[in-house]
Amino acid sequence: MFKRQTLKNGIRLITAPLKETQTASLLVLVKVGSRQEAKSIEGISHFVEHLMFKGTKRRPTTLDLSKELDGIGAEYNAFTGKDVTGYYIKADAKHLSLAIDMLSDMLGESLFRAEEIEKEKGVIVEEINMYEDNPLMQVEGMLEEMIFDGGELGHQIAGSRETVRAANREKIANYKKKYYTGANIVIGLAGKFNTDQLKDLKSKFKFNRGAKSKIKESIINQKSPRVDLKYKETEQVQAALGFPAFSYHDPRSYALQLMAVILGGNMSSRLFINVREKKGLAYFVRAWPNLYEDAGALVIQAGLDKSRIEEAIVTILGELNGLKAGVTAEELQRAKDFIAGKMALDLEDSMSIAEWYANLELNDRKLMTPQEKLKKIMAVKESDIKKVASDIFDLNRVNLAVVGPFKDDKKFKKLLK
Indicate which residues carry an active-site annotation.
49
Q: Amino acid identity of 111?
A: L
Q: Is there a contact between 277 and 349 (Cβ–Cβ < 8 Å)?
A: no
Say which DSSP state 386 is in. H
Provide DSSP, 146-205.
HHTTTSGGGS-TT--HHHHHH--HHHHHHHHHHHSSGGGEEEEEEES--HHHHHHHHHH-
Is 30 strand, coil or helix? strand
Distance CA 229, CA 139 (A): 9
Is 21 strand, coil or helix? coil
Distance CA 240, CA 224 (A): 17
Distance CA 62, CA 78 (A): 14
Distance CA 136, CA 359 (A): 26
Q: In what order do the strands lie in the sheet with 12-17?
A: 3-6, 12-17, 185-191, 23-30, 85-92, 75-80
Q: Amino acid identity of 235?
A: E
Residue in 227, 188, 184 with CA at minimum distance from that of residue 399: 227
State the burial class of residue 123 (Cβ atoms within 10 Å of its Cβ: 0-12, 13-18, 19+): exposed
**Residues whose CB falls within 8 Å of the CB of residue 293, separated by 6 or more in sequence, listed in order:** 83, 215, 247, 248, 249, 363, 364
Residue in 274, 391, 258 with CA at minimum distance from that of residue 329: 258
Q: Amino acid identity of 78?
A: A
Alpha carbon separation from 296 to 100, 265, 289 (Å, rounded): 34, 17, 7
Other CB atoms within 10 Å distance of the CB of residue 258: 26
